[in-house]
Structure formats: structure tokens, C-alpha cells
Structure 1
Amino acid sequence: MTDMRHLSETLKTALISKNPVLVSQYEKLGAGEQRLLNEAFQPVNDLFAPITVHSQSDWIISHPESPQDFEQFFSDHYRKAPCPGKQNIYIQSIGSLGNTKLINEGYIKWLKGYCEAFFYGLTVKFLEPVSVSATRCSFRVNEHTQNLQIHAGHILAFLKKKKPKDAFCIVGITMIDLYPRDTWNFVFGQASLTEVFEDVQRGKKEKST
């Protein structure tokens, strides 16, 4: 018979290594939350399945990235953790998300539920939708697809000005194509982790003075 205490300890160690901070955080989780995390280390389970690459056009095939384990993610100085007063995710929709009001509201409801489940403990709030022209972002018509595209970097600059003081982050969503620079055909999305890090550092400096 397998010693369940030994199995649990093995899984816990595999999950959080020997980092005392992570060990402490794991111990604070409820039984259900611990089971959810432990399930990821079972060879066969109902909650997690490997991601299958379907074609050569998938991002990870076209743009190989170095693997990152949880320890590396946790220690990354760009990683930002929620803090009191900054526990809201704000979502700014740009342009219409659907052909009808019903579809548009359905997308918003689904996205809110997904984000609050994935980013547990944070609250998702939607800002008033804005038109593409209201962002004053550069745009172009893609010469290959003939689709309208918005400059992703300019959207980030627009969002930075709209970010509320109690925001953990602000996210822009749109059904319109994006491009990061003239030489690129398109991009799925773009983030500004450096800005986030600078905001955190600035906050620490202000507090120390």
C-alpha cells in the first residue's frame, strides 16, 4: 500500500521545490486547491492534458522559446503580484466585439468569468468601450489580407493613459488585426512588462522617501 503522506510530500516538493516562501504559500491553500495543483502531476487525470501542436504555423513552432519552470517564473523580477489597493483587472474593449449587442454582451460575460477564474482573487472590471478612432492609434490596411490593422504599440500607450490607480493591470481587447511594426505581417497581442516593473520600482522609491 502506498503511503499517502509520502505521496503528498513528494508531489508538494515537485510542485514548489524547496523554496521556503513557496512552501509557506502551499501550506496556506485549502484541501481542494492543493488537490487541484497535485492533479497536474498525475500521469493520467481529468483536469489537465498536454497541449497538442497541430501545424507548423503554431506560434511555438515558428518562434521557439526557452522552457520556464515554476521556480524560474516565481523568481522573475518582472513578475508582479497583487497588493492591497491594486486588485482589479480592467478590460478596455476597442471597437465592436460582435455583430449584435447580444453577442457583444455574451463575449464580455464569458471573458469576465474566465479571467476571474484564471486570476483567482482579482476582480475584473470593464471600462466603457471606445471606437478605434478614439484611440488615435496608427493603422494600416494589410497589403496581403486587405484587413484593417491597428498598431499594437500605440494601443499600449493609449491604455497606459487610461489605467486607473487601483488597477493591477489594464488589458485592451479588439476583434481588429494588430501589427507591432511595419515589417511585421501581424501579431496576436503585445504586453508591456517593463512598464509594470517600472511602476512597481517607482512605488517602492516613493514609499522609501
Structure 2
Amino acid sequence: MQTVQHSEQTLKTALISKNPALVSQYEKLDDGERRLLNKAFKPDSDLFGPITLHSESDWIISHPEAPQDFEEFFSDPSRKAPSPEKRSIYIQCIGSLGNTRIISEEYIKWLKGYCEAFFYGLTVKLLEPVPVSVTRCSFRVNDNTQNLQIHAGHILRFLKKKKPRDAFCIVGITMIDLYPRDSWNFVFGQASLTDGVGIFSFARYGSDFYSSHYEGKVNKLQIVSSSDYSIFDNYYIPEVTSILLLRSCKTLTHEIGHIFGLRHCQWLACLMQGSNHLEEADRRPLNLCPICLRKLQCAVGFNIIDRYQALVRWIDDESADSPGVRRERSREDHVTLPKPVEAFKEWKEWIIRCLAVVQK
């Protein structure tokens, strides 16, 4: 195992810049916000540590990329930021996210609430779920896993056509595995900064996806035609667990982060690190490093305290519905469905430590 170490000066420049205008912009932040962000280049910080590399298959080694500091992010001519007319994130569910209607509906709401807290200040809206057939995408059976996959690029094309006028971006979520092109084995998600669209799959986050007993495997002979979407009618969906929810929140916010113009982080342990496999994705934290946090704050305009407090509220609110909202249920749905947030315990404790620094 090795670590990606940068000097204090390198990290300080990546966060603050040497551009006088950007330095001045940084100095106008609240004292508490700067105190937290400055932890990026403090060697004794217990909040933000270096990136650890475990094998040659890790993203940074296998996908060499130029690092993006705050100045490069700020000056990127292709970067898009929300405007007063376009401050909504739309979520489009493709297929079902749970093995019952009520579980699927609640899962989407949990993800919506998390996005509203993570991208604090923006509105998150849900579109009516659609079956795979509506997208008219290509699909295949993966040679390695014998599992159904849908074409990520075709889904992006479908979402681009559906993008509402007030949308900053529209993102698709699914429990069906994705592939970006024939030569690739799979992809967790894919996004287009230019078009403001993204598609993310949570299929590989189930506890048994890589098991030889995984129930989602299909026989190639079952596919009669490339236009016969009936093969998705009884598609296997993993059990909803706290780990599955945590992994889903990670992927969703990571990929939407790309739509805001944040590239893969190579500075510190951060949500925006790339990942080639589930083990590496699990090592990636839920939080943004100070450099990426400053980028997102610049794009959205939130107060860091407000954002962190919203994230804590989302974790603490374990109810299925938003406070004060009552929803009609069918007879078969007379069950309480608490939000499984056990896996978010360390994340909450970390946020509280950050709030202590900001509010000192």
C-alpha cells in the first residue's frame, strides 16, 4: 500500500490559488469556513488524510489524469453552474429500485433527500419511474457475470430529450448494470458535463452481486431479439440494506459532482476519487476534501454549516416520509419502513467534528 502525498504548499495553492482575485475571494469566506478548509494543508489534521493506493488496478494508477485545483475549476470555460432559472436536479428512476413498489418509492425518496442535503440550496425533483423499454436502449448479457446490462450512452441520450426547462441536470438511477461500450466490462455511472445528464447503476452494490449464487444471472438463449424488453420484466433486485443505501448515495453524488465540473480528485481522500472496482469505491469517503468542497461551494453558493447540518438531519430522520407529510398507502403496504442509516454513523460523527471546527 502507498499514499499520494503532496506538500503543504502544493495543497495550499490547490485550495486557495496564487491568483490575487481568487485569494481575495477566499479571504471573504467566514472565519470558520476558512478554518475548516485550511485543514487541507495542515499535517496534523485528523479530518482529511492522503489518498491510499492498494494495487496497480486502482484508478489513479490505471487512469493517469492531470489534477484539477480550484483555479483550474474556476477558470474552466466548459464548466456550467446553476442559474436562478436552472436550479433543479431531476432524478429519473429506470426500472424498480426495490422488490416491492413501496420499497422502490421510499428508496428514491431517501436518495432525493440525501441529494438535497449534499447539494444544499438546490431543489431536487423526482420524475415518474419508467421501464427500460421506454428508453429504447441497447442491452446485452455480460460475458463475465452472465448478468443483464443496459447501454449507458443510450440512456444519456434518452435523458437529454427529457430534460425539463428548469433543470440544471437530470440523472437516471437504476438497479440494472451498465456498460458504456462493447469493449468495456461495466461502468458504475456515466455523466455528461456538456449536456447536464447522468446515469448511475447500483446493481453491483448488492451484497451478493459477485457471488456464484447471484440470482440476477440470465441465459443468453433467453434473448430472442434486441428489441424484446420483456427479459427485464422479472429482473432481480437486491435487498435494500444500509450498505446499499450508502453506496448508492456515494455514486449518485460523485457523478452529479462531475456535472458541476469537478474532476477526479487526486489531492486528498475524497468522494471525487475515481474507482475501478467495488473495493476501491468502498474505500472512498462520503465527504469532499476541502479543495473539492470549495469547488462545489463556489458552484452552488451554500453556507458550509447549513450544508453539514442538513446532512446530519437527513441521517437523524429515520422515518420513511418527510416530517409533517402523510401519504396514502395500499393495504399491502401497512408496514413502517425506517431509513437504514446504520452505515452512515461514522459519516455523521465526522460531520459533527467538522461543525465543531467551523463553529469554534
Task: Provide TM-score, normalisation by structure 1.
Answer: 0.76
Distance in 2 between the 1:134 and 1:142 partners? 22
Q: Cα deviation per residue 1:12-66 (whole Å; 9 max; x = unaligned)?
A: 8763224354345434433443333222232233432333233443333322222
1:128 maps to amino acid: E
Number of the residue aligned with 1:153: 153
Distance (whole Å) between structure 2 residues aligned to residue 27 and residue 106 of structure 1? 42
Aligned residues: 186
Where do 1:91-130 residues align within 5 Å?
91-101=91-101, 103-130=103-130
When structure 1 is superposed on structure 2, of 56-65 and 134-143 the one drifting more is: 56-65
Conservation of the 8 A alpha-carbon contact between 2:17 and 2:70: no
Counterpart AA for 1:126: L
- Letter of the aligned partner of 1:82 in structure 2? P
Correspondence 1:68 to 2:68: yes
Q: Which moved more, 1:97-106 or 1:182-191?
A: 97-106
Alignment-derived partner of residue 172 in structure 2: 172
Deviations 1:149-183 (A, max 9, x none): 11111111100111111111111111211111122
Q: How much is the aligned-residue C-alpha RMSD, in angstroms?
A: 2.5
- Percent of aligned positions that are identical: 82
What's the offset of the Cα at 1:135? 1.2
Per-residue CA deviation, residues 56-88 of structure 1 (Å, 9 max, x unaligned), is 433333222222222112211121111111111
Cα distance in 2, alignment partners of residues 180 and 50 from structure 1:
30
Q: Distance in 1 between matches of 2:107 and 2:55?
A: 27
Distance in 2, Cα, partners of 1:120 & 1:90? 14
Question: Following the alignment from structure 1 to structure 2, what is the Cα–Cα distance between the partners of residues 103 and 22?
Answer: 46
Question: Segments of 4+ in structure 1 off by > 4 A?
Answer: 11-14
Matched, 1:54 2:60: no
Q: Which runs of 5+ in 1 are unaligned?
A: 1-10, 197-209
Shift of 1:186: 1.5
- Secondary structure (helix, strand or coil) at the match of 1:191 reads strand
Is 2:37 the partner of 1:37?
Answer: yes
Distance 1:20 1:84 in 2: 28
Change (3 A) 1:14 1:189: closer
* Distance in 2 (alpha carbons) for counterparts of 1:166 and 1:148: 34
- Map of 1:7 onto structure 2: none
Give 1:57's aligned amino acid: S
Compared CA separation, residues 61 and 177, structure 1 to 2 (3 A) = farther
Give the superposition deviation at 1:127.
Answer: 1.3
Displacement after TM superposition at 1:119 (Å): 2.5
The one-letter code sitting in structure 1 at the alignment partner of 2:117 is A
